[in-house]
A and B are shown apart, each in its own frame.
Chain A
C-alpha cells in the first residue's frame, strides 16, 4: 500500500480528446508532484505544488494543465496531446517541499493515438 493512488491506471486517448488524470495521497503530505516517465529516459519533473500553490513548471507544454484543489488531490488535465506524449505519468508526494524523499503512486500508462 503506497498511500498515493492514481486513476485511471491505463488510458488510451485520441489527439483531439480531453481527459484528466487524478492523484490522491493519504499521507498528510504538503507537496505533490507530477512526473513523466518515458522509456530509457530519466524521470522528468513536470509540476510541483506546495500547500496547493504551484511552485514549479518545468517548461511543460500548455496541453498539460495541472490543478491542485487541496493538499491531498492533484489533477493533470490533458487536451490535444501528441503521440510523443505517450508515457507513464507518475504522481508523488512529500511531507515538505524540497525534503527529497518522495512517495510515488503506481502511475497512469497513457497512450495517445
Chain B
C-alpha cells in the first residue's frame, strides 16, 4: 500500500537554527506533493505544493521544499526558524492514477518546537 513517511516525530530547535524535515513516499507513479502546517489551536493550512516544473518550490513564511524524484522525497527546509514556526507539519501526497482517485495520503506529522 502507498504510504508517506516523515522521519522525525518531534524536532526541537533554537531560534535562528536551520530546519529540514524529511518526507518520503512509496509510489512509483505521478504525484503531487504538499506540506501542510497546523499551528497550535488552528486549522491545517497549506504551506507549499509541487505539481510540476522546478523541483524547488517556495511557500509562505520562508519555507521551501525540494522534490527529488529518484529518492521519492520532498523535504521541507527553512534557513532560520522563528518561535512562531512552532507547529505540527504534515507531508501529503496526491496519487495521480485513475483507480487511486487522487486522494491525499498524509504522513504522521512532525511536531516542531522552537525555543526563543
Contact = CB atoms under 8 A, between A and B. Distances in A.
Nearest to A6: B43
Nearest to A45: B103
A101 B45 CA distance: 10
Interface stretch (B59-67, B78-86, B106-114): B106-114
A61 interface: no
A47 to B, nearest CB: 11
Contacts of B49: 100-101
Contacts of A45: 103-105
A90 B43 CA distance: 9
Interface residues of B, number: 24
A97 B96 CA distance: 11
Interface in B31-67: 32, 34, 36, 42-46, 49, 51
B44 A90 contact: yes
Given A40-B108, A90-B44, A100-B49, A56 B101 contact: yes
B90 interface: yes
B75 interface: no
Interface of A: 2, 4, 40-43, 45, 48, 55-56, 90, 92, 97-107
